[in-house]
Amino acid sequence: MSNYRRSQVPGGTWFFTVTLADRQSRLLVDEIELLRHAYGLTQRTRPFQTVAVCVLPDHLHAIWTLPEGDADYAGRWSLLKSTFSRQFPAIPQSHSQMRKREKGIWQRRYWEHQIRDASDLQRHVDYIHYNPVKHGLVERVADWPYSSFNRYVAEGLLPSDWAGSAGADGLFGE
């Protein structure tokens, strides 16, 4: 078994990609209210700041900053994923999934990247906001409803026509 090393910087900021097991699924947008409930419950139970977020049909990207002295983002993702999954009936599972009490909705692992500096943060925020265009879901970033982009526009951090249309480069993030 692989030995994954995770950065454990208390109060740090991380970029995450969390993916459904079924990459053809639309579950996250079809059940957006259940996902919002799980996200909100997690945030109230184990506080963190959402710097940016984008929910796509089969995966989501987020940037979180944890409170000073706290580095347990893994516990937060576990709570969020389990809260969301409990809303669905059990489906036939593998022996491994039954042993781990999983429903097979989420991929077990997720990608995390510790944000290093302001430039790194900006690249990842841009990547998150441009992702629906990159995946061909919309022509303009502003047209995707499941993103923090419109909050950035409302706060005057980005113009509503940021990144133009689907013809833009989108060389952000990873």
Minimal CA–CA distance to 22: which of 105, 137, 136? 105
Cα distance between residue 43 and residue 49, in whole Å: 8
How far from the centroid of its chain's Cα atoms is residue 10's Cα? 20
Amino acid at 34: L
Cα distance between residue 142 and residue 173, in whole Å: 19
Q: Is 87 exposed, middle or buried (0-12, 13-18, 19+ CB in 10 A)?
A: middle
Strands 111-114, 49-55: pairing kind: unpaired
Cα distance between residue 123 and residue 115, in whole Å: 10
**Is 28 within 8 Å of 88 (Cβ atoms)?**
no
Tokens of 111: 């990608």
Q: How confident is the model at residue 164 (pLDDT cuts 50, 70, 90)?
A: confident
Taking only the tens place, the pLDDT of each residue in 80-126 is 999 999 887 666 565 554 444 445 689 888 999 999 999 999 999 99
Cα distance between residue 137 and residue 88, in whole Å: 26
Question: Rounded to whole angstroms, what are the CA distances from 135 to 12, 106, 130, 152?
Answer: 29, 20, 9, 21
Cα distance between residue 72 and residue 9, in whole Å: 9
146 is catalytic: yes
Q: Give pTM, 2 decimals.
A: 0.85
Of residues 39, 73, 146, 152, which has the active-site annotation?
146
Tokens of 21: 């097991």
Taking only the tens place, the pLDDT of each residue in 56-92 is 999 999 999 999 999 999 999 999 999 999 887 666 5
- Asked if residue 2 has pLDDT above 90, the reply is no
Number of alpha carbons in the 13 Å side-chain half-sphere of residue 124? 25
For the chain, what is the largest distance between any 2 Cα atoms, rounded to a whole number of angstroms? 51
Domains annotated for the chain, with CATH where assigned, are 13-115 (3.30.70.1290)
